Structure 1
């Protein structure tokens, strides 16, 4: 066990160290914000496989599966343990705390593995087959910068770029003591970059998971699979929905429609679920999203829906406690609160007028910066960051 004095380090939105106690406290808060189960303590829950469970919406859906529905199953994340130079990743500490809160009686395991790999699929499905027989739900929430194609060995790298023409827009910068509004310009992606982004962030790996389950007879009647997605505002569309990421999201949605047809004979369903804006490790890497989200929070205040609220709404629909809220493209929509016309009109007006001089008035940058720190366990009330912290935290039990 190792006690260390930890400093966050890093620059801008990137932190090189995570704080284990802060990460645990963040999960505690998420757990408390998630409704507790009202079911009989002896009633076994559905079997869930959650791919990408240690951050953002994947973490929120994992917590809701455990706390509200007492589901059994397996969650997969790809995290790094501590080294002599750095702490473990934030997702490592969050996963450890999630398992602790679930308790020793939870019939749920956590696998640390590259979800894109064939080995991870084999290990996960071996466990599911031996312990449960069949799976009721698969939640796919993977955000990664690269993917190795298991069939060819080729490594694909995703890029965040516009398509067709250059992207010029305002951006939020945290380089000094005070935030400022800067500007950026990105050249359009070439075809190879667009195609690589689709390989990483599209539906190819999601389909491989479903095919692997089907090949082994692990799909239970009534099975429902969902891949998490995002649409967002027209303000961010040039760099998001109309850019390389948007092409990948379209591929994800096309994959959902294909899976829906394939699963119908098995009594199953497949959809993408369009979540609303959130401060996540993935979203902070997207230009202009930080400024947009800060303005959105300033407009909505307490009306800004948390990942816990959205994950709970998703599970209600997947378990049949509430009807599916599908749009014309058969996507589950969780983002109505964000894309409400009045909300977007207010955001658009502030976006037009925001400058470094008006930033404090028009955007909630203090909230945003706090949320970014919390992703790594920093800026959490009640944590003594001056005291040495126990950085050696074991990964929870994987296969029983």
Structure 2
């Protein structure tokens, strides 16, 4: 046990310390939001591999899969352990609590900490799946990363968040001494090398390599499905997102989905999933998203969809309980609540009017600030932040009951 008095130590939307009890409480709340367990049926739940299981939509999909659908299998995340200077990463603490909840629910699910882009982690995951679970029914790919080492060439690619073609100038939400104000953002246009590097990091290359790795080991079950998380978003944020370097990467991801779906040839299916807006560690790095999301939350009110809400819908579609809901580009759409024309018109009106004097009336700025803090275990109701916290939390033990039969 290592008791520490810890402080957030944040710089803008980035926190250098995480609070273990706060992170665990966030996971508990998400777990409670998931739908009740489905009827047990005749056998165990599907075998799933969730790549990016410690944060955002990957974490939400993991929790819904475990509690509602009796999912078995493996979650992969890349999280920093505790050091003498800093706590462990928030995803480390979230994963530890997720593993505890999975064990309490009787789920046979384990977690691997490592760089999912690497050949070594792919091999280790395949070994574990083959030995313990058998063939995989579902692979969820949900990774947002600043860099990727190409395992074929060894080259390190760095992603950038920039517009393409022309510079980007827009409003942005900043906090000074916890008080929100509207700032001005200027981003220069990316060059071709930056665009290509971002596609290498955030596009479909790694997703395809994961399918290759599992297929080479005969680990794809009959009826195998795989999905990767994507986003479209509003015309307001399009210049820096969908029409920017990240958008180029998302287009590559969607092209990869169609290629994989054709390759699986009816024995399986691959789709991208267009999720709605959310406050995640990845999204807070995108300029203008903070203001847009704060306004969107105020506009949507009771129709706002959390990542857990959207993950529950996704699981319902993937299991066949409801229609898959593909658009004309073959993408699963979960963002209808955000992209409703009336919602987008109201967001645009508020966006155009927003300045430092009006922003708190037009946008849920306090909500947004608290949501960012909760990504790291801060601003969580019921947590005593004045008491020293036990920051030494072990990564979940992989030991557990072995499953010798497969449901497919």
Q: Do the two structures share a fold, i.e. TM-score over 0.5?
A: yes
Higher mean C-alpha displacement, 213-222 vs 233-242: 213-222
Higher mean C-alpha displacement, 245-254 vs 8-17: 8-17
Q: CA–CA distance in 1 between the matches of 2:216 and 2:43? A: 29
- CA RMSD, Structure 1 to Structure 2 (Å): 1.0
Asked if the contact 2:102/2:108 (under 8 Å) is kept, the reply is no
Alignment correspondent of 1:62: 62
Tell me how far 1:175 sits from its aligned partner.
3.1
Alignment correspondent of 1:299: 299
Q: Deviations over 1:54-82 (max 9, x none)?
A: 00000000001100001110000000110
Alignment correspondent of 1:77: 77
Q: Scaled by the length of structure 2, what TM-score is found?
A: 0.96
Q: CA–CA distance in 2 between the matches of 1:149 and 1:398? A: 28
Asked if the contact 2:147/2:157 (under 8 Å) is kept, the reply is yes
1:68 is paired with a residue whose SS is helix
Alignment correspondent of 2:132: 131
For residues 191-210 of structure 1, the aligned pairs below 5 Å read: 191-210=192-211
In the alignment, structure 1 residue 328 sits paired with structure 2 residue 333: no
Alignment correspondent of 1:180: 181
Alignment correspondent of 2:171: 170
Tell me how far 1:42 sits from its aligned partner.
7.6
Structure 1 segments of 4 or more deviating over 3 A?
none
**Unaligned residue ranges in structure 1 (runs of 5+):** none
Asked if the contact 1:127/1:399 (under 8 Å) is kept, the reply is no
Q: CA–CA distance in 2 between the matches of 1:218 and 1:399? A: 21
Alignment correspondent of 2:228: 227
For residues 189-338 of structure 1, the aligned pairs below 5 Å read: 189-265=190-266, 267-338=267-338
Q: Scaled by the length of structure 1, what TM-score is found?
A: 0.98
Paired residues, what number? 399
In the alignment, structure 1 residue 357 sits paired with structure 2 residue 357: yes
Tell me how far 1:39 sits from its aligned partner.
2.0
Tell me how far 1:317 sits from its aligned partner.
0.7
Q: 1:368 to 1:131 in 2, by over 3 A?
A: same
1:397 is paired with a residue whose SS is coil
Q: CA–CA distance in 1 between the matches of 2:194 and 2:20? A: 36
Higher mean C-alpha displacement, 34-43 vs 124-133: 34-43
**Unaligned residue ranges in structure 2 (runs of 5+):** 401-408
Q: CA–CA distance in 2 between the matches of 1:277 and 1:339? A: 10
Tell me how far 1:40 sits from its aligned partner.
2.3
